[in-house]
């Protein structure tokens, strides 16, 4: 089975290690912070147990045994098919890490970044091995939410993209392809528009943040867990997508055209949200809520795995 290197063992790195190890890959885990990769491995053990509890991993002990903590970056990259980079979200960190990874990784290894917003051409342009670099952006927590956005630079070899897609599919993820580079890719751009409107609605005193959350949780989000926006609107008008746009397009256009230009995430709207929210959560409360979310997501993932396929 192929070997994978995980560089950076924080929130996202350890989830990637969980994914690859539980689907049979051997994983080398590296982090620049002393002791971080070892601590991450313990955390991964918990992730694997939880997945096993939902029937999503067969043998959590064997999966954990496939993960080793590397001594340094060179040790992590030895003999790997793919490197998944999960360092800090700054352009300087990505440029430095990709330069090192390109110098040390075997020539055939794919170099993929988990970056949330930075396009691959910004950190790979001057590298001798730039044809093997791309973005593979996951969503938190990646071991429970399978989407991976593959976003190659203009010079990324299409064969590299194809090989990367196969590896992520083998690991149980759901890759999508960006045909052009776009900062923020698809998911975060969709999320940005939704969040901007949510902040504007609360900031303008139209609805409480709790009611906005209910609108997604008990409204739009129910369909979105198994169908996308295009699949959704196709069923909302007898003539499908063109009919939907003919009926509702003018009203939708009116709303998006009217969107104010100010920063929806500025201090005033944040204050309006927090006035209703009831204060910031403590670290313990955040941890408890994250555990609850992960358990719900694992149950949903198991349900989706067992669910009947969509008719054609």
Contact (CB, 8 A) for 41 and 57: no
Instruction: Name the residue nearer to ligand NAD (CB basis): 52 or 99.
Output: 99
Residue 13, interface with ligand NAD (CB under 6 A)? yes
Q: What is the rounded distance in angstroms from the CA atom of residue 150 to the CA atom of residue 168?
A: 10
Residue 33, interface with ligand NAD (CB under 6 A)? yes
- Pick from 89, 125, 169, 197 the residue near ligand NAD by CB under 6 A: 89
Segment interacting with ligand NAD (CB under 6 A) among 24-32, 164-172, 220-228, 248-256:
24-32
Instruction: Name the residue nearer to ligand NAD (CB basis): 141 or 203.
Output: 141
Residue 209, interface with ligand NAD (CB under 6 A)? no
Residue 136, interface with ligand NAD (CB under 6 A)? no
Residue 87, interface with ligand NAD (CB under 6 A)? yes
- Pick from 23, 84, 115, 173 the residue near ligand NAD by CB under 6 A: 115
Residue 31, interface with ligand NAD (CB under 6 A)? yes
In angstroms, what is the minimal distance from the CB of 271 to ligand NAD?
24
Contact (CB, 8 A) for 6 and 13: yes
Residues that bind ligand NAD (CB under 6 A): 7-13, 30-33, 36, 86-89, 97, 114-116, 137-140
């Amino acid at each position: 089975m192929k070997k994978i290197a995980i560089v950076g063992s924080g929130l996202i790195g350890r989830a990637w290690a969980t994914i690859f190890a539980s689907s049979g890959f051997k994983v080398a885990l590296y982090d620049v912070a002393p002791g971080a990769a070892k601590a991450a491995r313990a955390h991964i053990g918990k992730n694997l147990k939880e997945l096993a509890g939902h029937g999503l991993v067969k043998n959590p002990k064997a999966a954990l045994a496939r993960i080793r903590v590397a001594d340094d970056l060179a040790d992590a990259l030895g003999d790997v098919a793919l490197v998944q980079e999960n360092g800090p979200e700054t352009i300087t960190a990505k440029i430095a890490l990709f330069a090192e990874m390109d110098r040390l990784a075997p020539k055939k290894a794919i170099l993929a970044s988990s970056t949330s917003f930075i396009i691959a051409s910004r950190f790979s342009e001057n590298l001798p091995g730039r044809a093997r670099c791309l973005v593979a952006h996951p969503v938190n927590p990646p071991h429970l939410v399978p989407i991976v956005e593959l976003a190659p630079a203009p010079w990324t070899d299409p064969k590299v993209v194809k090989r990367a897609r196969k590896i992520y599919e083998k690991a149980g993820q759901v890759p999508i392809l960006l045909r052009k580079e776009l900062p923020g890719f698809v998911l975060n751009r969709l999320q940005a528009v939704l969040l901007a409107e949510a902040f504007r609605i609360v900031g303008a005193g139209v609805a409480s943040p709790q009611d906005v959350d209910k609108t997604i949780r008990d409204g739009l989000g129910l369909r979105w867990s198994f169908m996308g926006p295009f699949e959704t609107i196709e069923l909302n008008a007898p003539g499908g997508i063109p009919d939907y746009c003919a009926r509702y397009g003018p009203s939708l256009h009116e709303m998006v055209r009217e969107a104010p230009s100010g920063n929806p995430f500025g201090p005033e709207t944040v204050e309006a949200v927090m006035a209703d929210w009831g204060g910031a959560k403590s670290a313990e409360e955040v941890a408890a809520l994250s555990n609850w979310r992960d358990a719900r997501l694992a149950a949903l993932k198991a349900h989706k795995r067992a669910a009947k396929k969509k008719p054609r």
